[in-house]
């Protein structure tokens, strides 16, 4: 298994994000920030800083757009 898939991380679907900032404000580890670009809809999406996520999913639960954030965590059982 690659190291990048073993650590928890948020996956932000850029074109679904409306840039409301709720996930950024809610993140207890402050690992999300506004991107320095706009998406296809003209919004500035959130982005992951690249490290520090614990997989708590608070960002996911605070996001009003149901398809904008996924939180990937390590498979603790070692399976797929």
Please tell me the distance from the alpha carbon of residue 22 to that of residue 59, in angstroms, as a whole number. 7
Please tell me the distance from the alpha carbon of residue 46 to that of residue 33, in angstroms, as a whole number. 5
| Helix or strand holding residue 72 (H, E) | strand 69-72
76 inside domain: no
CATH number at residue 37: 3.30.70.20
64 inside domain: yes
- Entry pTM: 0.84
pLDDT tens digit string along 17-65?
A: 999 999 999 999 999 999 999 999 999 999 999 999 999 999 999 999 9
Total structural domains within the chain:
1
Asked if 23 contacts 35 with a C-beta cutoff of 8 angstroms, the reply is no
3 confidence band (pLDDT: 50, 70, 90): very low
């Amino acid at each position: 298994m690659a190291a990048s898939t073993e650590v928890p991380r948020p996956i932000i679907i850029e074109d679904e994000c409306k840039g409301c900032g709720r996930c950024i404000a809610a993140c207890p580890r402050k690992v999300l920030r506004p991107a320095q670009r706009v998406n296809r809809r003209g919004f500035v999406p959130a982005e992951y800083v690249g490290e520090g996520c614990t997989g708590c999913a608070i960002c996911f639960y605070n996001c009003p757009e149901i398809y904008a954030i996924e939180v990937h965590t390590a498979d603790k059982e070692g399976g797929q």
